[in-house]
Each structure stands twice: as structure tokens, then as C-alpha cells.
Structure 1
Amino acid sequence: MKTVYHCLVISLLVFTAYSCNKQLDALPKNAKVDANTIIDAGTAQIALNGAYYNFANATLTKTGWQMHQIIPAELAGYMGYGNGGFGAAYENKNTSVGANYWNESYVLLNAANGVIKGVTALADNQFPGNRKKEIIAEARFLRAYGHFRLLTFYAEWYKNDSPNGVLIRDELSELGNISKARSSVKESYDFILADLDDAIANGPATNPNVYATKWAAMALKMRVLISRGAAADYPAIIQLADNIIQQSPFVLEDNAIDLFHKNGLNSKEVMLAVKPQAAQELDAYSKSRQYWPGASSLYVAPLSLKNLLNNDPRQTWMIGTQKGTGVVESYFFTKYIAQNTIPTVVSETDYAIRLSEVYLLKAEAIVRSGGDPAAAKAIVHQIQAKAGITSTENNIPYLEVENATGANNLLMAIYKETVKTLVAEDGMEWLALLRLPYATVQQLKPTIISQTLYILPVPADEFRYNPSFGNQNPGYEKF
């Protein structure tokens, strides 16, 4: 796939804007709308819908979120390709995966910047109430999401003093501003957090859960802070979690299985989701069919995920029958669609942020800040209870958490629960793995022989079309 700048050169000031109604499944009236077409509150909303359309990585027939589920899970060792073997993309320094996230993110950033530019230029009195600030806040949330995805896959996010940060795009791309150097990691974090602080301060408190709110911005800020991992970040994470848990309208799903197999977008736990396109479940190559029974591709759970879920009630509905033995033993992955069923709107729904993540990040922050281990364990037990794991059963998963002694052992227990809870959603299992001590990462994934394998190489086309970019990521100089 060519770098995003091919698209930018062709389209210049254009960015995608879809639907007059606030829904992703409406067909576009005009696929090319530049910032100058934002002339009032109505056209501003159309443009914002276009940015969300890019967030969903959508086409007219379906959304394209599945790579958010598969690639990180594969890298962490908990998913694989069922029709030809496993093997994480950049453990072998294969760049084929790399351009997907890169292009997707920069298309999203361009759309968000178009909204910000166009709406900022309008007078406040052209919008009802605080809607002007809210639209800009939602666009800045999307921009923060895009930059953070780039940071965690293409920059040394785990080294705050590294010069190898993100190529920040803070304005609508034109021929004259394409050439630009990447920022440092510190500058990248600062820019992302500034966007999120605006989204928290000015974002809507209520919104359909396929659109951002100030609560979703708080949760995303927690992700960013736990990745940066400065001493002052952990108390901030705990405070953000308490704010969400105590004041937001979101509550944990009573039975974890119901979220994925029954309720979908109707679940009160879902803070931000990707709604499938109209009739997406009927598509012969829909996401669900890539899990069961297999269409053009089949993505499966390896033995490692099945073993992690041993003695856990979630194994019964997340792991299906054995797919085959061969070189790698694998099983149907049934988190989204049960075997012997057909795709539905619920099975096609994807989840960007859920309240369970807020709880687990709070528990991790408590441990990393030297807080009360019992408090962290109690939080993890709350998540386990929603999966059917309680102390009265005296079962193994509960005791693994309860009996963990010392910060490192408790962090390992939280990591395992994070995988069980959030595997194949939006890369949280991968980032949770990489937050562990490097020696532990190597024990869990021996193929990660260097921290350079924490990230992807910058696509080669970037250097061809943007000579100002700077250095390639360490370890990938040949690309």
C-alpha cells in the first residue's frame, strides 16, 4: 500500500465527509469535502461524521477495525492465521503490516484537522450552546487517538528521552506542508495529552457510544499516561479512573459474555465502539466470518490463549473447537461469534474503549505507584466477578490474583487478566505485555530479542516523499 502522502498529493485540501445524519451507515453524498465547505453547524457535523468514518476505517459496505484486533493479539502471542501458520509480522522484520496502521492513522488525522480548521474559523453564534467547542473537542479526541496509535507502533514510546517520536500532523495537509520532521517522544506525548485535555474539558458528557465523550477522552488519557509511565502519571491515572467510575453513566456488564454475544452497543459498559455498516453482517467477507467458519481468511486462537484461560469460565465461550494440529495447535476464536451461528450486528460490532479497561488500568497504576496491593486485587476481582469468577468458588484464577505477592507478581496477574478481558479488541494485550520489565517480556515472548521489536519500521515511502522526516527507527535502517 502506498504511503498516505500519495492520497494527500492527489486530494490536496480534501478530506472525507459522510452523511448528513449522525450515523456511520449512511451513504456519502459527496466523498470530497474541503475545509471551506464547513459553513455552519450542519456542515460541521457532516465533516465530523466523515472523521468518524475514517476512525472506523470504513467503506460503503463494512468497517475495517479487524486489524486493530488481530495484529496486536498476534504480536502478543494470542492469535494467529488459521490457514497457513503463525508468525508476528515484525518479529521477522516484515513491513507488510506496517503501512496499514500508518496510512489509516494519517487519513484520520487529516480528516480531524480539516474539521478543526473549518469549525475554528466559524463564529461561535453559528452553533447552538457549546456545540462548536464540542465538535472541536471530538475532532481533537480523534486526532489524539490517531497520533497515539502512531506513537505506540512507529515510535520509541517507551523512551521518553528518545528523538524518535511521531510525525505530528496538526494542520490539514497541503503540498506546502507535507515535508516535516518527526517530533521527539516527549513532544509527541505532550501534543497528544494537550488534545485530550481539550477533549476532556470541552467534549460532550453524553453522546451515542459510537462517538467520543469527555469520559472516553479520560480513558484514552489513562492509556497514554500508563504508556509514558512517569511517577506523576500513576496518581493521575487513578484520579481519572475514579472520576469515570463514580461520575460517568457507564457501568460494568453483569455477565461478560452478554456484551459480545447479546448486547453489543446496548451494553452500558461500552464507552466507544465502532458500529457496523448497514447489512455488514450479510457480507460474505464480514469480520465475523473471518472467525467462524472462515472466509477469505481465518483468524484463530493458539494454544497459548487456550492455556491462559484454563480453569476460567471465559474459555467456554471464547475458545471453540480445535481447528487443527499441524505445526501449531489452534482453536476457533469465538469471542465475537459463537460456533455454528451466523453473523449478526452484534458480532460485527467492534470496541475501542470499555469500562473494564479503566478498572484494570487503575489497578496497574496502584501497583506501579507503590499503593495498597489489596486495593489493586479488589479491583481485579471486580472484573473477574463479571466473568463468573468469585471467591466463594475458591477457584484458581481468583487465587492467582489473591495470592500474588510483591509488585512484580501482582503486575503479572493484572497483565494476565488484561489479556483475558481485552484480547483482540484494540491492542491492549500487546501494550500491557510491553509495559512489563524487559526480562519478563523476553520470558513470555522469546522471539522478542530486542526492544527494537516493540515497534514497526516507518514505511519506506515516507522517506521518499518526505525527505525532512528524519531517522528510520533503530534496528530497521535497511527499510
Structure 2
Amino acid sequence: MKAYKYLFLLFVSLGIVSCSDLEEEPVGLLTSPEDFFQTTDNIQTAVNGSLTHAINEKFWGRKLSVALMLRSDMVDLASNETRRVENNELTTLANNEMISEFWLKTYQGIAAANQAIHGAESVNVAADVKNPVTAQAYFARAFYYFHLVRQFGDIPYIDVVITPENTAQMSTISKTPAAQVYENIIADLQFAKTWLPNTQASRAIPSKAAASSYLALVYLTMAGTNDAANFQKAFDEAQDVILNKGVYNLDLDPDFQNLFNADVIDSSIEPIFALDYNNFEAPNNGYDQIAPMTGIRGDDRNSGGGWSVAVPSLEVYTTWNAQDYRRAVSLDDGASIDGNLELYTNFTISGHQFAKNRPYIAKYTRFPGAFARGNARATSHNYSMMRYAEVLLIAAEAAVEINEPEFARTYLNEVRSRARMGGTTLSSGVEVSVAGSAEPADHIGTVTANDVLEERRLELAFEGKRWYDIVRRQLGTTVFSASGLEGIKPDFSPNDYLMPLPADELARNPNLLPNNPGY
């Protein structure tokens, strides 16, 4: 098989255009990178190209984000496309096109980051001038690999620029053990933390706080269920962000709804690192489709409504405290924010034949901002990949495991306190003010890891976090049982904690065999 058929030859392309809150500059094929990289602006262009891949429909715009939702215990499927059914029922095959598409898009983002990192070596300026820019590329590379290693385990780790001279070598590359991938991720994030500034002009540009927050999450993930050393590291990194929140210009937004309101999110200081669509549409599907994927079919409230694809189970709604403002923000019951459980037996949510008669995800459909396309596509959302509330919960969970109960309770209750504040959201398409509530009440007594995981489930619902929590805490046998929110998933096995490596990639490079266990 000829070398040009391998995935890795695609790495010589930086990307399409830059992220929407960054300078927009088309980037083409770089046949001579050393000629291109002359200034820090050239490094920034390559970084922008790397992060652009993350807002593509094949990454966070639909494929990866929806796969993570479906594989969790909170989102069911209201359609019957095989590729989605496999993710929802945990029967995913190696030829699943959702996997192959976000696999490729992720590596393209990595390729562009590698171009920036190695291209920076040709820029003849002082380290303190170019490293703060190059550090963004180190962050981007870590960001992409962190997704890959959690999904697939052992993976090909590429940190060089692919050129015509080394394509033959790339065509025989083998898998790197997950432990080594994690070491490389940590090294990249530590470099980023050293050189990135405390704040940036946009939360779509990595900052020192973003690097430190991701280090905390990486250590928490590596800790699994019983690694005290990594729990301590996770706590230390998270607390560093918390103690320096003033320096980093971070805090909880007083209104939870603001985090999912494209019209006001730019003024919020809660996001730490975000993917910003900003009414942005680029070539090759560079736009957001989460709003229609999760929206109500036949609902005319936001430029065509949705497609009724990814829909929560009824139990997600009924088991969520009705006085918790986050439920009103996170879920749409088709009627009012107070809800009426009877409506699910005698009410059709929109009247459309394909609209499933359940509550819907509301985080991305109520305030999507301007659309670059009809049918609720290409929104203006900023998707928080990391926000301050999650840092508090990382610190709380790690504190439980290192026997720091006061910190665990303090940080958990800080998140709950914001949830009690109420705010302004939509009810039946009309903007309404929701008064503060006594719920969720402060946690009294000893906080357990399960308490924090449950708080993460509610606080971060439908944000692509729950599946990763299930995996790192090995919760599958519980959450996919008959008592789980979606009922029993009979095909679940511990092998499902890892996805299969894409079949076409294995066919191109037999050195990546065997596939993950169970596939």
C-alpha cells in the first residue's frame, strides 16, 4: 500500500481558517514550513489553524460531542441511524463513521499544532516573545491528545511535522502506550502553564488558567479510583486556579443561564477555555450543529427548531430536583420551566411526528445567537471546554480522596450556592425571571466521591463530560443497569470504556493492530 494513502500524510496541512474570535487568515498546504515561519504572527496563524479543527462538525460541531452524549447515561436516541445507535447502545463497531471522522479531525488539529511548535524554531526572536504564542500550540496538542487517549487508550503519538522525506516512516508507526501519552500531555501543559499569560483577549485563546485547569483534570483522570498521588496533584492544580481566580479573572457567573446564552457569554468570567463559533461557518463543515441535533423537531422557536436526535431519558428530568434552577436551564419540557409530569402521557411536545415525547436538552437551543445557516445551524455559541465550576468540582473530588473534607464541602457547596440564585431563562419561548430557591441545599456532613460525581452530572449535564466520568470512575455496571437513568444497556461490558480504533486506519497500518479488547 502506498504511503500517500496513510492518514498521517494529511498532517502537512495546517487547517482551514482560524477560530472565530482569533484573526481569520486562510492557511494552505505548507510545502516549505521553514519559509513560512518568520514571525510570531506566523506561529499564531498555525495555532489558529489547529484550533479551527476543534470547531469542525466532525469534532465538537457534532460528531464527537454527540457521541460523548450518547455513550453516557443521560442522553438517549430518538432516531435510528446505525452509527448513532451503536454509540447509544454501546455496540460500536470499528467501521463506525462517527469515530473515523473525529479521529481524523483530531489528528489534523494535532498536525497543525506540531507545525506551529516546530515552525517556531525558525522564528528568530527572544524566547519570552515567541514562547507565549508557541505555548498555545502546546496547549492545543495536549487538548487533542487528551481526548484521544481517553477514548482509545494506546494511540499513535505524533510530535513531528510530516514531510515528504519521512512519510514512509509514518506509514509504519505503531501505538504509544497510554501512560506515555499522558506523560507527553502533562509535559505540554506544563510548558503552556509556564509561558501563557494569566488572561487573554478571548476565552477561546488558551491562558495560564486553562493549562493549569486541564492539568488538574488530567491528574484526576489518571488517578482513577485510588491513586492518591495523582489525586493530590489534581487538588494542588485546581486549588492553584481557585486561589488565583482574581489574577486569572475567573469566578462563577451569577446566572447559570448566561453560560448557554450566546448573546452574553463573551462578558462572562466563568469560561476558562472555550470553542467559539460566533456565527461562524467555514469550508468543509466548520460550524456548529449541536443546537439542531438536540432541539425539538417541529419547534419554531429558533429558526427552524431541531432534529430530535439526542434526547434525554424521562428519568433524567423526573429525578432532577424541580427547584434546582439548573434543571430549568438544562431541560426543555415543551411547556413551562416548572414542568408538568402529566404532560408526558397526554401531550405531544411539538406535534411533529418525529418529535419524541420527552424533555429535551435546552442548553443549546434557547439562546443560540445569530445563525450563519438556517435550521438552527452555525450558531454563535461559545462551548466551555473548561469552566470555573468544573475546577471547583475537580478540587472537591480530589479533596475527598486526600482526606480534606472541609475543602470538599466548601467547593461543592460553592457550586450549589450559584444554582440557588435563579436568573433569567425562557419559558414557552418567553423570557422569564426565576427567583432564588432553597435548593439544592448546602451539603452537610461528610462529602463522598459519589456526592461530587452526582454534582458533576447535574452541573455539567450535556457538556460532553459525563462519559469521561463514567470511564475514569468505572461506573458502567451501575449506571447502565436496570436502575440507571436510561434503563439497562444489556450490551455493556468493561471493554466499552475504550472505543475501537477505526477500521480503515487499521487496514492502512497493520502496525496498529490488535484493536482494543472486544473489537
- The answer for the alignment partner of 2:55 in structure 1 is 56
Aligned residue among 327, 337, 341 for 2:365: 337
Asked whether the 8 Å contact 1:288–1:347 carries over to 2, the reply is no
Unmatched runs of 5 consecutive residues or more in structure 1? 156-164
- The answer for the alignment partner of 1:131 in structure 2 is 129
Asked whether the 8 Å contact 1:117–1:171 carries over to 2, the reply is yes
Aligned residue among 370, 375, 393 for 2:407: 375
Decide whether aligned partners of structure 1 residues 7 and 452 sit closer, same or farther in structure 2, where only a CA change above 3 A counts.
Answer: closer
Distance in 2 (CA, whole Å) between partners of 1:341 and 1:42 is 30
CA deviation vs aligned residue, 1:120-173 (integer Å, no higher than 9, x gap): 232234xxx723111221111111111111101111xxxxxxxxx221111122
Q: State the 1:33 CA deviation.
A: 3.2
- The answer for the alignment partner of 1:205 in structure 2 is 198
CA deviation vs aligned residue, 1:215-273 (integer Å, no higher than 9, x gap): 10111111111111032111211111121112121111112112213521221001111
Asked whether the 8 Å contact 1:45–1:135 carries over to 2, the reply is yes
CA deviation vs aligned residue, 1:329-378 (integer Å, no higher than 9, x gap): 52221112229998699863222111111001111101122332x43122
Aligned residue among 32, 35, 48 for 2:29: 32
Distance in 1 (CA, whole Å) between partners of 2:421 and 2:488 is 31
Q: State the 1:106 CA deviation.
A: 0.6
Say whether residues 1:355 and 2:388 are aligned partners: yes
Distance in 2 (CA, whole Å) between partners of 1:232 and 1:141 is 23
Aligned residue type for 2:217: R
Asked whether the 8 Å contact 2:421–2:437 carries over to 1, the reply is yes
Say whether residues 1:225 and 2:214 are aligned partners: no
Distance in 2 (CA, whole Å) between partners of 1:84 and 1:75 is 15
SS at 1:113 equivalent:
helix
Q: State the 1:81 CA deviation.
A: 3.3
SS at 2:70 equivalent:
helix
Distance in 2 (CA, whole Å) between partners of 1:285 and 1:137 is 26
Distance in 2 (CA, whole Å) between partners of 1:327 and 1:256 is 27
Aligned residue among 364, 383, 397 for 2:397: 364
- The answer for the alignment partner of 1:309 in structure 2 is 320
Distance in 1 (CA, whole Å) between partners of 2:402 and 2:144 is 28
Distance in 2 (CA, whole Å) between partners of 1:389 and 1:224 is 31
- The answer for the alignment partner of 1:468 in structure 2 is 511
Q: State the 1:78 CA deviation.
A: 1.4
The structure whose residues are more often helix, as a share, is 1
Say whether residues 1:431 and 2:468 are aligned partners: yes
Provide TM-score, normalisation by structure 2.
0.77
Decide whether aligned partners of structure 1 residues 205 and 177 sit closer, same or farther in structure 2, where only a CA change above 3 A counts.
Answer: farther
Q: Aligned ranges for residues 274-423 of structure 1 at < 5 Å?
A: 274-278=275-279, 286-292=289-295, 293=299, 294-295=305-306, 298-311=309-322, 312-321=324-333, 323=349, 330-338=358-366, 348-372=381-405, 374-388=406-420, 395=439, 397-398=440-441, 401-402=443-444, 410-423=448-461
- The answer for the alignment partner of 1:160 in structure 2 is none
Aligned residue among 213, 216, 238 for 1:241: 238
Asked whether the 8 Å contact 1:389–1:398 carries over to 2, the reply is no
Say whether residues 1:269 and 2:261 are aligned partners: no
Decide whether aligned partners of structure 1 residues 327 and 233 sit closer, same or farther in structure 2, where only a CA change above 3 A counts.
Answer: same
Distance in 2 (CA, whole Å) between partners of 1:441 and 1:289 is 27
Distance in 1 (CA, whole Å) between partners of 2:125 and 2:367 is 53
Asked whether the 8 Å contact 1:265–1:346 carries over to 2, the reply is no
- The answer for the alignment partner of 1:171 in structure 2 is 160
Give percent identity, aligned residues only: 20
Q: State the 1:66 CA deviation.
A: 3.5
Asked whether the 8 Å contact 1:285–1:295 carries over to 2, the reply is no
Q: CA RMSD in A?
A: 3.4
CA deviation vs aligned residue, 1:407-465 (integer Å, no higher than 9, x gap): 7xx2222112111111222x221122223355545544742632111111001122222
Aligned residue type for 2:61: W
Decide whether aligned partners of structure 1 residues 341 and 298 sit closer, same or farther in structure 2, where only a CA change above 3 A counts.
Answer: farther
Distance in 1 (CA, whole Å) between partners of 2:288 and 2:159 is 35
Say whether residues 1:190 and 2:183 are aligned partners: yes
Aligned length: 446
Distance in 2 (CA, whole Å) between partners of 1:57 and 1:214 is 25
SS at 1:431 equivalent:
helix
Say whether residues 1:453 and 2:500 are aligned partners: no
Unmatched runs of 5 consecutive residues or more in structure 2? 300-304, 335-348, 423-435
Distance in 2 (CA, whole Å) between partners of 1:286 and 1:210 is 19
Aligned residue type for 1:33: L
Asked whether the 8 Å contact 2:155–2:178 carries over to 1, the reply is yes
Distance in 1 (CA, whole Å) between partners of 2:8 and 2:193 is 30
Asked whether the 8 Å contact 1:17–1:33 carries over to 2, the reply is no
Asked whether the 8 Å contact 2:254–2:421 carries over to 1, the reply is no
Distance in 2 (CA, whole Å) between partners of 1:351 and 1:339 is 15
